Structures are given as C-alpha cells and as structure tokens.
Amino acid sequence: MKVLVTGTAGFIGAALAHALLARGDEVIGLDSVNDYYDVSLKEARLARLKAKRGFTEIRTPLENRERLFQAFSDHRPSRVVNLAAQAGVRYSLTHPEAYIDANLVGFCNILEACRHHGVEHLVYASSSSVYGANTAMPFSVHQNVDHPVSLYAATKKANELMAHTYSHLYGIPTTGLRFFTVYGPWGRPDMALFMFTKSILEGRPINVFNFGRHRRDFTYIDDIVEGVVRTLDRIATPNPDWNSDCPDPGTAKAPYRLYNIGNNQPVELMRFIEVLEDCLGRRAEKNYLPMQDGDVPATYADVDDLMRDVGYAPTTPIETGIANFVAWYKGYYGYS
Ligand SMILES: NC(=O)c1ccc[n+]([C@@H]2O[C@H](COP(=O)([O-])OP(=O)(O)OC[C@H]3O[C@@H](n4cnc5c(N)ncnc54)[C@H](O)[C@@H]3O)[C@@H](O)[C@H]2O)c1
C-alpha cells in the first residue's frame, strides 16, 4: 500500500511510518519540520526513516496548497494519515494563528487533495481535548462535544466537522482518532514526561500543575501506532442505523467514523511522577501550581468502539512505558 503520512518528523508520525514500512507499505512522509520544538530531534527522527527503503520525504507546510497537490499527483497515495498539526494546548493561548494556519487551512487542503486524487481512506488526528468542559467519564465519542476550552481543541473539533462534510458531499471515507496523552521513546519535548525527565536529570524542580490532582489516560506510543494501523486498514463505512432524528455524534449516514484511542486506565499525575522517579532513581523537587488556562483536570477514554471494530487492545502499563522512555532519553542525550 502507498500511504501518505503527514507529520512524519513528529513523535507519532515517525513511529507510525516505521510500523508501516516494517510491514512493507510505501510511505510518503510530509512535514514542514517547523521550529515549535527542537528541530534537531525532528531531523533525527527523519534521518532514521530516510535510512529505510520505501520512505520518501516531502518537506512542505500543509498550507502550501500547490505543493501539497503536487505531492498527491506525483505519488498517488491510496490512503492518507494526517498527523501534521500545531499541537499543544498552552501554545494556543499565545499563538492562535499557528492553529488556524496548520489545523484549519492545512486540514482543508488535505481534504481537497483527498477529494481530487481519489484517496480511499483518510485517517486524521483529533484529540481528547475536544471533550473540553465535559465531565461524564469515561469520555465517549457518542457524547456531544461542543464546549472546547482551548483554541487547539476547537480546531480539532472543527477538523471532525470538516471531515464529515467531505464524507457527506464527496463520499470520502474519513476516520478521526481522538488521541489521549501519548508518551514513549522519541516523545515530544513540550509534554510533561519529557519536561519532568529533563528537569529531574538536570537537578531542577518540576512544575506540578493543578497541585498534582490531574488524572490522565496516558497511552503508550506502540499501542497508539497499533491502533492507527488497524484503523487505516478498516475503511470507514456509513452507519446503517444512523438516525437523523437522534443523531449519533460518533458515526453518520456518510462514511465517517470517530474513535477514542486511549489506554482506558487513567492514572493520577502523582503516581505517574512516582513511577518516573523510580525509573530515574531520583526524587523530584516539586513546585505545586494551580491548573493552567485551557487545561482539563481529567481524561479517560471509552475505547469500546475501537476494540469492537478493529480489535484495539492497549497492553502497555505505565511502569513499562516510562521505563522505555527513560532508557531512550538517557541514551539519546548521553546520560550513563
Ligand atoms: N502526542 C499527543 O499526546 C497527542 C494528543 C492528542 C492529539 N495529538 C495530535 O496528534 C498529531 C501528532 O502529534 P505529535 O505528538 O506527533 O506532535 P508533533 O508536534 O511531534 O508532530 C507534528 C508534526 O507536524 C509538523 N507540522 C506542524 N504544522 C505543520 C504544517 N502546517 N504543515 C506540515 N507539517 C506540520 C511538525 O513539524 C511536526 O513534526 C497532532 O495532530 C496532534 O495534535 C497528539
């Protein structure tokens, strides 16, 4: 299969590309390699991919419609996974324009490119942040999610709406995956595990927001990748039971599906930190702080639909996942 994956210099995109190459797919990896975080980490992820047969790199922003269309017509991918986006809740408070450009303009270009190049399935990244002000746990794709609490979340919800329109109007099968706090080797420097590890190893205190009362459905990268691959292989279909008098938000009359992809086992932030301290063999000095704007106190994914439809079954406990991250971090940054 020829798969165009966007965001391949990123954390999830690089890991997904490795998995697709390993099973013999051809991967066209598209990324702008922007400087939202350490570019050398992105380049290092890309270098490992470029060393493999079957990988082609395209360096362009999604917003460049002409170059994006050129990539589609040159390579004719049969399936597309769109992971490129401006990620991060906090940055959206200070740089809203980056989210409009990448997540709205860029995503519209992806939809248009899929429409005009006969793509048979588009899988795209949404986020647990779309649950916003919702508190009924576990979060389900069958709940209404009209109360985002950050612009990042609003753009991810907008992606789901835009995808539905294209599935409805042009019959393009689309599947949105709401990722829940992904962590693991080659992770993102702006996320808690990475920042905590760096600070602890450098002997600096860590900032513990919401006074440590956060609960997160931390999901290990390999479980995420397994779920994305399985989803990619199952082309979205219409729900024959969809009822317009009582519309189910997670499915549609069009070939449109939404799934949560999480660990289904929320963990207290303080427990997460404790496991990290054990793995590092050091205690962290903690700065307890209030919750940040745009944040939510808890996430917990109902993954029943993904289990039923693609056999998704996350298996990695945080004790294993964090140990793997620490081993990678120490090796990559030269700690003994
Ligand atoms: N990691 C998580 O916990 C998590 C949780 C929820 C949702 N997501 C979503 O999953 C996707 C992948 O996340 P990630 O953690 O790998 O993030 P990441 O930032 O590591 O990867 C995103 C990649 O997209 C690229 N990119 C950004 N804007 C672009 C643009 N306009 N054009 C082309 N490339 C662009 C970046 O250079 C980066 O390499 C994102 O859509 C993110 O919003 C991630």
Atom of ligand 1 nearest to the CA of 9: 39
Q: Are 261 and 179 in contact (CB under 8 A)?
A: yes
Atom of ligand 1 nearest to the CA of 12: 16
Task: Determine if the peptide bond prior to 138 is cis (ω within 30°).
Answer: yes
Which residue has the least CA distance to atom 27 on ligand 1? 85
Q: What are the per-10-residue average pLDDT scores of the chain (336 residues)?
A: 98 99 98 98 98 98 98 98 97 98 98 98 98 97 97 98 98 98 98 98 97 96 98 98 98 98 97 98 97 94 98 97 98 95
pLDDT of residue 336: 81
Q: Which residues contact 237 (CB under 8 A, 6 or more apart)?
A: 173, 255, 257
pLDDT of residue 126: 98
Residue 170 annotated as catalytic: no
Q: Are 138 and 264 in contact (CB under 8 A)?
A: yes
pLDDT of residue 141: 98
Query: Distance, CA 7 to ligand 1 centroid (Å)?
Result: 6
- Among the listed residues 99, 124, 131, 152, the single catalytic one is 152
pLDDT of residue 279: 98
- The β-bridge partners of 2 are 26
